[in-house]
Chain A
Amino acid sequence: MILALLLITLLILASAAVAMVLRNLIHSALLLVLSWCGIAAFYLWAGAEFVAFAQILVYVGAISMVVLFAVLLTRPARDAELSVPAVTVLRVAAGLMAAGMVASILGLAVLTTRFSGAATRAPQLTVKDLGALLAGPHAAALLVTGVILTVALLGAVLIAAPAPAPRPEDHS
């Protein structure tokens, strides 16, 4: 069990780190899909099957497509380089240092904390329970999330749509 967790950890971290270092945007996006699959595998390992398949649907299915389309739509020319221009060394060093400090602080906090009562058995949560929870105590939150999704997608279409061509009567 711990071996599987170690393998999943290696998969997630390695593919995410390599994706963020690569110069080719398409390769980065595809490696991130692998990382998101690893996260879904972690959810499966933890016993949250519904969340795992939701993760695959949302991230591997939807967000990856949106990212790939955005990469291809923002290419200057059909045969242009997909590579990312380099940033200054100072900025990279400062960013890496900040991220390293955050990682060490968080890691030390995790390693020095004693968590009480680690359960050996996964809690049982069927899809039926989840549906009852979403339709009962969390129904208001579910409705608000639906409104947020609708408004956000309408806004995304409005922002990304090309500006309408000026009508002739506007100029006269």
Chain B
Amino acid sequence: MTPLTLCLLLSCGLFSVGLAAALTRGNAILVLLGVELMLNAANLNFIAFWRFSGGPASTGVVFVLFSLAVAAAEAAVGLALVIAVYRHQQSIRLQDAVRLKG
């Protein structure tokens, strides 16, 4: 097994862990963290292909930097939404959040 295959399998496993967390957990914060894990898995792929492509292109690294910035913005907005939902419903279970305005 080449290192590239192992890297891709690692990111595949990380993506699946994040997907399982986002689908099965009922807590909004854990769902958000699952989405973060999936984003990280995508970043791992970019770096792996950059490392093993052998070419001079460095688009992978630049893309990961932008992706990190967007992930930070997404986490900030997502957790602010969680706090706003908690203020309305006194709970962050996703099953309880069934109203748009409360």
Interface residues of A (CB under 8 A from B): 1-2, 5-6, 8-9, 12-13, 16-17, 19-20, 25, 28-29, 32, 35-36, 39, 42-43, 46-48, 50-51, 54-55, 58-59, 62-63, 66-67, 69-71, 73-74, 76, 84-85, 87, 91-92, 94-96, 98-100, 102-103, 106-107, 110-111, 115, 117-119, 122-123, 125, 129-130, 133-134, 138, 141-142, 145, 148-149, 152-153, 155-157, 159-160, 162
Contact = CB atoms under 8 A, between A and B. Distances in A.
B96 to A, nearest CB: 10
B4 A115 contact: yes
A148 B73 contact: yes
Consensus secondary structure, chain B interface: helix
B3 interface: yes
A41 B52 CA distance: 17
A156 B12 contact: no
7 contacts: A2-B3, A5-B10, A48-B61, A74-B92, A111-B5, A115-B4, A125-B58
B6 A2 contact: yes
Contacts of B55: 123
A29 B73 CA distance: 18
B56 to A, nearest CB: 7
Interface of B: 2-10, 12-21, 23-27, 29-30, 33-34, 36-37, 40, 43-44, 47-48, 50-56, 58, 61-62, 64-66, 68-77, 79-84, 86-87, 90-93, 95
Given A13-B10, A20-B30, A20-B34, A149 B69 contact: yes
A18 B53 CA distance: 33
A115 B72 contact: no
Contacts of B56: 123
